Structure 1
Amino acid sequence: MNAQPWLLIWLWQAVILPSWLSLVSAPFVLTGYVLLGRMRREGWWFTIASQAGLLAIGAVHREYGLAVVLILMWQAFRNWRRWGRPNPTVALLTRQLEEARARVLAQRPARFAEREAER
């Protein structure tokens, strides 16, 4: 028997199928942490969504101890409310900073091409 199809079958049956809910919720976890690291309020919603994925995993696999995630979800919701809406001035400055970064990144290839042409 060829090793590659066997390996793919094993990977599908032993790794992906049992943990498909974890694989689905992983992008929510990552996105939540990235947004929270940037002090973005939306990160709390991604955190809540990823914890809801843990609840689903607990329900499917009858791991009822994962219901403790409800406490974390409640705390994330409270944090979302506590952060409130961002200050309009800070939001404007943040948006302008992001636009300036995008312009600089867009000009980089042009600058390198100009330098090469000068040589």
Structure 2
Amino acid sequence: MAPKKQQKGKVDELINPLAYKSNLQALGFLRNFVAVVSGIVVGICGVVGWHGFIYHFVAQLACVAAMFLKGCTNPPNYFVSWNTLLFFGVFSSTTLLSYILFWMIFYNICHVF
């Protein structure tokens, strides 16, 4: 096979797998932390029903804003695409179940017992 020809002014990008994995782990940790904190806040506020999931997604959007303000102003430098920053871990079972767990625990502590 012949090597690919580069277009003029375009540079092939190299991705360091260890740095990329570290970036994804940091993003996953932040998303889980935000899910736990938002679950606690929503549980204390007494939100019930499907409306509570709206707050989860709003908190995850705030997580994207926090990453952007922290220094990730050009996500393709740290992740493969913008979609990775926006949607990585939002619908993961760990994030959703952590949110639901802390939401229900703090709702029960504050409003049931």
Same fold (TM over 0.5): no
The structure in which a higher percent of residues are helix is 1
After TM superposition, the score normalised by the length of structure 1 is 0.28
After TM superposition, the score normalised by the length of structure 2 is 0.29
- Asked which structure has the greater CA Rg, the reply is 1
